Amino acid sequence: MAKNLYQKVWDDHVVRQLDSGQYQLFIALHLIHEVTSPQAFGMLKDKGLGVAYPGRTFATVDHIIPTDDQSRPLADDMAERMIQVLVEATTQNKIEFFAPQSGSQGIVHVVSPELGLTQPGMTICCGDSHTSTHGAFGCIALGIGTSQVRDVLASQTIAMDPLKVRRIRIEGELSRGVTAKDVILHIIRTLGVNGGVGFAYEYAGSVIENMTMEERMTVCNMSIEGGARCGYVSPDETTFEFLKGRERVPEGDAFDSEVKKWRSYASDADAQYDDEVIIEAAKIKPTITWGVTPAQAISIEEVIPDPDLVQGLEKNLISDALDYMKLEVNQPIKGTKVDVAFLGSCTNGRLSDFEQVAAVLKGRKVLPSVRAIAVPGSEKVDKAAREKNLHLVFEEAGFEWRKPGCSMCLAMNPDKLIGDELCASSSNRNFIGRQGSPTGRTILMSPLMVAAAAIEGKVADAREVFGLGEVQ
Amino acid sequence: MKAITKFGGKGVYVEGNDIDTDRIIPARFLKCVTFAELGSSLFYDVRFDEEGNSKGHVLDSEQHRGAEILISDVNFGCGSSREHAPQAIQKFGLKAVIADSFAEIFHGNCTTLGIPCVTMGKDARGKLSALVETDPDAEIIIDLEGLKVICANNIFDINMKESAREAFLAATYDPLDNLLAASDEIAATAVKLGYT
Ligand code: SF4
> 3-state secondary structure string, chain A?
CCCCHHHHHHHHHEEEECCCCCEEEECCEEEECCCCCHHHHHHHHHHCCCCCCHHHEEEECCCCCCCCCCCCCCCCHHHHHHHHHHHHHHHHCCCEEECCCCCCCECHHHHHHHHCCCCCCCEEEECCHHHHHHHHHCCEEEECCHHHHHHHHHHCEEEECCCEEEEEEEECCCCCCCCHHHHHHHHHHHHCCCCCCCEEEEEECHHHHCCCHHHHHHHHHHHHHHCCCEEECCCCHHHHHHHCCCCCCCCHHHHHHHHHHHHHCCCCCCCCCCEEEEEEHHHCCCEEECCCCCCCEEECCCECCCHHHCCHHHHHHHHHHHHHHCCCCCCECCCCECCEEEECHHHHCCHHHHHHHHHHHCCCCCCCCCEEEECCCEHHHHHHHHHCCHHHHHHHHCCEECCCCCHHHCCCCCCCCCCCCEEEECCCCCCCCCCCCCCCEEEECCHHHHHHHHHHCECCCHHHHCCCCCCC
Tell how far the Cα of A431 is from the centroid of ligand 1, in angstroms: 13
Distance, in Å, from the CA atom of B11 to the CA atom of A118, rounded to the nearest integer, reads 45
Indicate whether A275 belongs to any domain: no
User: What is the per-residue pLDDT across B123-145, written as a single tens digit (0 to 9) for each?
Assistant: 999 999 999 999 999 999 999 99
For residue B155, the distance in angstroms to the closest alpha carbon of chain A comes to: 25
Q: What residues 12-71 of chain B have any CB closer than 8 A to a CB of chain A?
A: 16-18, 20, 22-23, 26-28, 30-35, 45, 50
User: What is the per-residue pLDDT across A335-388, written as a single tens digit (0 to 9) for each?
Assistant: 999 999 999 999 999 999 999 999 999 999 999 999 999 999 999 999 999 999
Residues A172 and A247 in one domain: yes
Q: How many domains does chain A have?
A: 2
Q: What is the mean pLDDT of residues B68-78?
A: 96
Query: Across the interface, do B33 and A438 touch by the CB < 8 Å criterion?
Result: no
Mutate to test the pocket of ligand 1, among A37, A220, A410 (most ligand atoms within 8 A of CB): A410
The confidence band for B160, taking pLDDT boundaries of 50, 70 and 90, is very high
Indicate whether A301 belongs to any domain: yes
Domain boundary pick from A264, A299, A316: A264
User: What is the per-residue pLDDT across A124-167, written as a single tens digit (0 to 9) for each?
Assistant: 999 999 999 999 999 999 999 999 999 999 999 999 999 999 99
User: CA A55 from chain center: how many Å?
Assistant: 25
Residues A173 and A213 in one domain: yes
Does residue B101 sit in helix, strand or coil?
coil
Of ligand 1's listed atoms, the one at least distance from the Cα of A33 is: 5
Indicate whether A99 belongs to any domain: yes
Residues A214 and A341 in one domain: no
Tell how far the Cα of B6 is from the centroid of ligand 1, in angstroms: 39
Query: Across the interface, do A156 and B190 touch by the CB < 8 Å criterion?
Result: yes
Residues A257 and A391 in one domain: no
Structure confidence at residue A470 (pLDDT)? 58
Query: Across the interface, do A53 and B34 touch by the CB < 8 Å criterion?
Result: no
Query: Across the interface, do A129 and B193 touch by the CB < 8 Å criterion?
Result: no
Q: Shortest CB distance from B179 goes to which of A157, A316, A317? A: A157
ipTM of this model?
0.92
Q: Which of A302, A356, A339, A355 is nearest to A454 (CA)?
A: A339
Residues A344 and A215 in one domain: no
Of ligand 1's listed atoms, the one at least distance from the Cα of A62 is: 6
Structure confidence at residue A199 (pLDDT)? 97
Indicate whether A277 belongs to any domain: no
Query: Across the interface, do B112 and A147 touch by the CB < 8 Å criterion?
Result: yes
- What pTM was computed for the model? 0.95
Domain boundary pick from A264, A295, A311: A264
Residues A225 and A324 in one domain: no
Indicate whether A470 belongs to any domain: no
Indicate whether A50 belongs to any domain: yes
Q: With a cut of 70, list the residues of chain A below it in pLDDT.
A: 469-472
Q: What is the mean pLDDT of chain B?
A: 95
Say yes or no: CB of residue A130 within 6 Å of ligand 1.
Answer: yes
**In chain B, what are the domains?**
6-171 (3.20.19.10)
Q: What residues 121-150 of chain B have any CB closer than 8 A to a CB of chain A?
A: none
Q: A411 to chain B: which residues are within 8 Å by CB?
A: 26-28
Specify the CATH number for the domain of residue A44. Answer: 3.30.499.10
Indicate whether A472 belongs to any domain: no
Of all protein residues, the one whose alpha carbon is nearest to atom 4 of ligand 1 is: A346
Domain boundary pick from A233, A249, A264: A264
Q: What is the mean pLDDT of residues B25-33?
A: 89
Q: What are phi and psi of A271, to 5 degrees?
A: -65, 155
Residues A157 and A21 in one domain: yes
Please tell me which residue of chain A has the smallest CA distance to B86. Answer: A145
Residues A304 and A177 in one domain: no
Residues A260 and A292 in one domain: no
Residues A294 and A217 in one domain: no
Query: Across the interface, do B178 and A16 touch by the CB < 8 Å criterion?
Result: no
For residue A156, the distance in angstroms to the closest alpha carbon of chain B comes to: 8
Q: Which domain holds residue A204?
A: 5-264
Tell how far the Cα of A470 is from the centroid of ligand 1, in angstroms: 33
Please tell me which residue of chain B has the smallest CA distance to A16. Answer: B185
Query: Across the interface, do A151 and B166 touch by the CB < 8 Å criterion?
Result: no
Q: What are phi and psi of A56, to 5 degrees?
A: -100, 5
- Mention every residue, 6+ apart, whose C-beta is less than 8 A from residue B187: none
Check: CB of residue B171 under 8 Å from CB of residue B3.
yes
Residues A253 and A293 in one domain: no
Q: Shortest CB distance from B186 goes to which of A22, A155, A161? A: A155
